Amino acid sequence: MRCRWWWILLMVAMAGVFGLPATYYVSPAGSDSGPGSSSQPWRTLQHAADQVQAGDVVLVRSGSYAGFRSKSSGAAGQPVQFKAEAGASVVINTVGPDNWHGSVINIENHDWWLVDGLEVTGASGAAGIDVREADHVVVRNCHCHHNRKWGIFTGFAESFTAEHNECAYSTEEHGIYHSNSGDEAILRYNYCHHNHGCGIQINADPSMGGDGICSDARVEYNVIYANGAGGGAGINLASVRDSRIANNLIYGNLAGGIAMWDDGQGTQWGCRNNLIAHNTVHMPSSARWALNMINGSTGNQVLDNILIHDGSRGGLETDAGSLSGLVSDYNIMTRVSLDDTFLTLAAWQSGYGQDGHSAARAAAELFINPGGDHHLLETAWAVDHGLTLAEYTDDLDGVARPQGAASDIGCYERAAGALVGDINGDGVVDEADCILLADYLAGNLRSDDLTPAAADLNQDGAIDAVDLTILKRLL
């Protein structure tokens, strides 16, 4: 018996010495003099950041807080995690007492972090969430809004991930800004809207150190709209290479759609060898081009995109110095600008050997509602006219590609035989469909009270809460 107790005491002592991962809690009703347990939570996020080590989880309870700055790193498989407790509404609306740069959350010089489920607003100097010289950081399910410069910002951050975030109303610049030659960024499933500059910007900043190139990025499955009152683009890329920009919906932006260039640093810094695929880019009449690819941006593949403009501009703006290695095909667009000379699609096809399988169509010929629902009409030329790509087996909603003989062009795949989301079968996707699906999920209706093929929005074989979430997003 004495041996058994001796062993238990030894293990407890080792836990203290070696710092085994722990779960801590923070609450507006807590005290930093306590142990940070569920029953005796801490009061401030900064105190929690001062205490944690690799593998620790901090669960934050409902309330308003000041921000914090990281003081330690996690490790592979053991990130430091700051998360909203399940069901909690956490608002971080004041720059932390120990923060740098005027940002609300500041992760700097510390790797392997996860920030999850927090509302972050009110940055007075820079970003809601600010990540600098920190690798393997994940920002997930956060709502970053009304911050001075950026919703989420990175500098010299390798293997950074931002997913399922909403970044909106940045006063001076962008929703998400990944900068300073950080490689292997993953920016996916984000909503970026009403930012003064870009929705998403990746700028390798060749003049600011590092190798001046962002490589192997994935910018996918994002919805980006109503940005650019101060210029920029929905997705703005400078010195980005060997990356994929795909399955994004970009509409109603006031400046550019997708822009690829050299940041004015010289054509040796152009965006090269990227795949731009299955994007739907719909530009208003006063905006710039749907896709701008200039200043040494060579070797790119532009496939399966809807690139349309409601005004006198058009789909692709490029220059002679960016034509080398270009493969552009299976797109929908009306006009091309080459060295500021406008070409019809037919002239571009015959004169430059590009876009042989592409076509010119207007928004009204493609979309259920060009003003708000960019899912494809049953009669849209985009249906079954794309090139089926091994890299993309689903669409922005998670619907499998292809549904027909070939993949559809743009970010949405039309589900065979049904108008996606038209659950009551009236030919329109609207609030009535949302109410019907919610009633069905609550058990108030039978499956024969709706159109199952239209209700299974992500085509996974089940009608569930995920489909309701997708439908709400459409509206």
2-11, 106-115, 243-252, 272-281: segment of lowest average pLDDT: 2-11
Q: Is the pLDDT higher at 63 or at 417?
A: 63
Q: Work out the number of other CB atoms within 10 angstroms of the CB of residue 33.
A: 9
Q: Is the pLDDT higher at 283 or at 471?
A: 283
11-20, 98-107, 161-170: segment of lowest average pLDDT: 11-20
107-127 as b/e: b if 16+ CB within 10 A: bbebbbbbbbbbbbbbbeebb
pLDDT over 80 at 14, yes or no:
no
34-48, 204-218, 325-339: segment of lowest average pLDDT: 204-218
> What is the pLDDT, as a whole number, of residue 450?
67
Dist. CA 331–CA 381, nearest whole Å = 11
Q: Which long-range contacts (CB under 8 A, 24 or more apart) does 427-430 make?
A: 429/368, 429/373, 429/375, 429/471, 429/474, 429/475, 430/475
32 — pLDDT class (breaks 50, 70, 90): very high
The encoded tokens of residue 308 equal 């349309």
Each residue of 251-274: pLDDT tens digit? 999 999 999 999 999 999 999 999
DSSP H or E stretch at residue 10: helix 2-18
Q: Cβ distance 131 to 107 under 8 Å?
A: yes
Q: Which of 332, 338, 342, 343 is nearest to 302 (CA)?
A: 332
Task: Please give the full DSSP string across 73-136, using - where no structure is assigned.
Answer: --BTTB-EEEEEPTT--EEEEE--TT-STT-SEEEES--SEEEES-EEE--SSSEEEEEES--S
> What is the pLDDT, as a whole number, of residue 422?
83
> What is the pLDDT, as a whole number, of residue 324?
98
Each residue of 363-405: pLDDT tens digit? 999 999 998 899 999 999 999 999 999 999 999 999 999 999 9
pLDDT over 60 at 2, yes or no:
no
20 — pLDDT class (breaks 50, 70, 90): confident
Task: Please give the full DSSP string across 166-203, using - where no structure is assigned.
Answer: EEE--SSS-SEEEETT--S-EEES-EEES-SS-SEEEE
13 — pLDDT class (breaks 50, 70, 90): very low
Please state, for a pLDDT cut of 70, what percent of the chain lies above it.
Answer: 93
> What is the pLDDT, as a whole number, of residue 310?
97
Please state, for a pLDDT cut of 90, what percent of the chain lies above it.
Answer: 82
Q: Which of 118, 174, 123 is nearest to 141 (CA)?
A: 118
Q: Cβ distance 155 to 133 under 8 Å?
A: yes
How many residues can be counted in the chain?
A: 475
pTM for the full model?
0.87
420 — pLDDT class (breaks 50, 70, 90): confident
Each residue of 276-324: pLDDT tens digit? 999 999 999 999 999 999 999 999 999 999 999 999 999 999 999 999 9
pLDDT over 50 at 16, yes or no:
no
Range 54-77 average pLDDT: 98
> What is the pLDDT, as a whole number, of residue 439?
85
